[in-house]
């Protein structure tokens, strides 16, 4: 999956699996400058965006169909996603905030328990309390996820490295599985550049 799709699906997958994701999820996601590729443009070059935050492709990002397809495959037949991507003033990472209206009020600890249960056997998904941080996952294949609830409202936060979990190290993870290697092979030593 694409980098935004990876972050958003990691955030919403447990709710989809448990039949708790219906209707629209609103997602605000921020990516670092390395998400723009190697050719700098007027609005994507890091020095231009280093002290700025701006939205782009509002409600029209190319990863939305991929996100919705994966959520349907996870069990959320009627789920839709409104994605508002942003360019952030950092180099590596994606931070996604997904807001969901649940059918019934949810206990915060019980909701976190669902996430821990769904991701319990996943070596590269860590459930966090509070908020994940892009600086912590930079250079890794980890997706750090936190879930918060108040009444019927749930907010799920996910931080990934857009070049790692969002691209290259995810590909290595998939190749490991395809060729029968340990899933974590070659992925526990973080990259350091950029």
The active-site residue, picked from 1, 3, 4, 168, is 3
SS (H, E, C) 112-163: HHHHHHHCCCCCCEEECCCCCCHHHHCCCCCEEEEEEEECCEEEEEEEECCC
How many of the other CB atoms lie within 10 Å of CB of 70? 19
Q: How far apart (Å, rounded) are the C-alpha atoms in residues 139 and 17?
A: 29
Q: How far apart (Å, rounded) are the C-alpha atoms in residues 64 and 70?
A: 10
158 catalytically annotated: no
Q: Are 68 and 11 in contact (CB under 8 A)?
A: no
DSSP codes joined into one string, 90-116? SSS-EEEEEEEE-SS---HHHHHHHHH
Q: How far apart (Å, rounded) are the C-alpha atoms in residues 34 and 1?
A: 17
Which active-site residues does the annotation give? 3
């Amino acid at each position: 999956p694409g980098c935004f799709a990876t972050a958003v699906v990691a955030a919403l997958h447990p709710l989809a699996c448990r039949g708790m994701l219906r209707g629209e999820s609103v997602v605000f996601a921020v990516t670092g400058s390395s998400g723009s590729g190697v050719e700098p443009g007027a609005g994507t070059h890091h020095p231009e965006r280093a002290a700025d935050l701006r939205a782009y492709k509002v409600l029209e990002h190319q990863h939305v169909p991929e996100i919705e397809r994966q959520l349907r495959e996870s069990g959320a037949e009627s789920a839709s996603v409104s994605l508002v991507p942003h360019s952030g003033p950092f180099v590596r990472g994606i931070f996604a905030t997904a807001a969901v209206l649940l059918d019934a009020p949810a206990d915060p600890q019980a909701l976190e328990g669902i996430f821990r249960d769904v991701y319990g056997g996943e070596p590269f998904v860590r459930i966090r309390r509070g908020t994940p941080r892009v600086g912590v996952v930079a250079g890794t294949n980890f997706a750090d996820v936190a879930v918060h609830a108040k009444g019927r409202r749930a907010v799920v936060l996910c931080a990934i490295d857009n070049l790692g979990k969002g691209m290259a190290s995810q590909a290595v993870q998939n190749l490991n599985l395809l060729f029968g290697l340990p899933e974590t092979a070659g992925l526990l030593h973080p990259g350091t550049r950029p």
